[in-house]
Amino acid sequence: MRLIAAMNIAFYAPLKAPHHPVPSGDRLMARQLIAALGIAGHAVSVVSDLRSFLPASDSPTGEREAKAEREIARISALWRAGGTPDLWLSYHPYYKAPDLIGPPLCRQFDIPYLTVETSYSGRRNLGRWAEAQDRVLDGVRLAAANICLTARDMQGLAQAAPEARLVRLSPFIDPTPYLKRPPQPQAGRMITVAMMRSGDKLSSYRALAQALGQILPRPFTLGIIGDGPERAEVEQIFGGELGSRVTWHGQKSEDEIAELLATASLYVWPGHGEAYGLAYLEAQAAGLPVVAEDVAGVAEAVADGRSGVLVPSGDTNAFALAVCNLLADEDKRARLAAGARRFVTEERSIETIAGKLDDIIRSCTGDRG
């Protein structure tokens, strides 16, 4: 990779700063974007910790706007005293967490503005969200490029702002922790990694329990890595005979997760509402075939037929059958396991994506080296 004309990049994640204490896929992708930019030779600084997230109720919008104005003033003073960055990159602006500080600053200082994983849906143009949606679109139209990690996001932005510049980049991970451990799959051992919270996560846990409940005559175990406010509810969902098959690992470090993944033979997670699901990529890097639903953005992270099996959305019977078939078919499972590692290492590794991200940044800022 050519490491020339390094840029100083101001990085901002309005939903959750990269060093936020609560783990999530959003935090992980923010960190990986920073790492990818570093691999490409750029200097990245997190310009603000301001969290613009606004829940469905409580917390008036005026308070959020006032905090944003103070941040704009603070950053403006710093830039006047010490110089401006070459580029502003905003990660994951959306209706609940718009970028309130990047567009005003970029206009004021004439700095190129980029976004990654901006999402927009017209059905959110209701009540208190309508103004936030306008702020999201303002950033989309201002941006020299909006880097879309899913086809769904790209389509939503294209419909709302057809004049905006949109480019695709695939979701990615650093596969190193998973590749350095040789797979040692134990027959019948399945695993999943997911937070335990209400909404889509809880819905996926319910669908997984229903599917596995249909194959109880088969010998299998399930390891669940994760924790959260709905743990008691999740444990209840996996009650009865199914509960005797489950090992509750709780929250684990990256190395601990990699160690546990290496001993499983199948990764199972329906994926309701997943933007794409970095945990799928981690599992595949560890050599695990995936069984998931073809729902939301899951197909962005799982290569159906090459690295796993995607079943129709909401089809519990199909999910159970796919799991049952893979548990019984060692040859197919081994083929998908090998394909899963190839998929991640050849197409979704941070080194591969770093070069593509660098090309996008240089092309949209006029720096082609």
CATH number, span 8-172+349-365:
3.40.50.2000
What pLDDT is attached to residue 123? Answer: 78
How does residue 369 score in pLDDT terms, banded at 50, 70 and 90? very low
pLDDT > 80? residue 298: yes
Query: CA-to-CA distance for 178 and 180, rounded, in angstroms?
Result: 6
Q: Residue 44: what residue type?
A: V
What is the CB neighbour count within 10 angstroms for residue 178? 26
CA 94 to chain centroid: 14
**Domain 176-347 CATH superfamily:** Glycogen Phosphorylase B; (3.40.50.2000)
What is the CB neighbour count within 10 angstroms for residue 21? 7
- Tell me the pLDDT of the chain averaged across its residues: 93
Q: Are 28 and 345 in contact (CB under 8 A)?
A: no
How does residue 58 score in pLDDT terms, banded at 50, 70 and 90? low
pLDDT > 90? residue 280: yes
Residue labelled with tokens 């599917």: 211
DSSP β-bridge partners for residue 223: 191, 247
Task: Give domain limits for the chain.
Answer: 8-172+349-365, 176-347
> What mean pLDDT do residues 63-81 have?
95
Query: CA-to-CA distance for 243 and 264, rounded, in angstroms?
Result: 18
> What mean pLDDT do residues 221-236 have?
97
Q: Do domains 8-172+349-365 and 176-347 have the same CATH topology?
A: yes
By C-alpha distance, which of 145, 115, 147, 120 is closest to 353? 147
Query: CA-to-CA distance for 68 and 61, rounded, in angstroms?
Result: 11
Query: CA-to-CA distance for 267 and 308, rounded, in angstroms?
Result: 9
Residue labelled with tokens 């303002």: 138
Q: In angstroms, what is the C-alpha Rg of the chain?
A: 21
What is the CB neighbour count within 10 angstroms for residue 331? 7
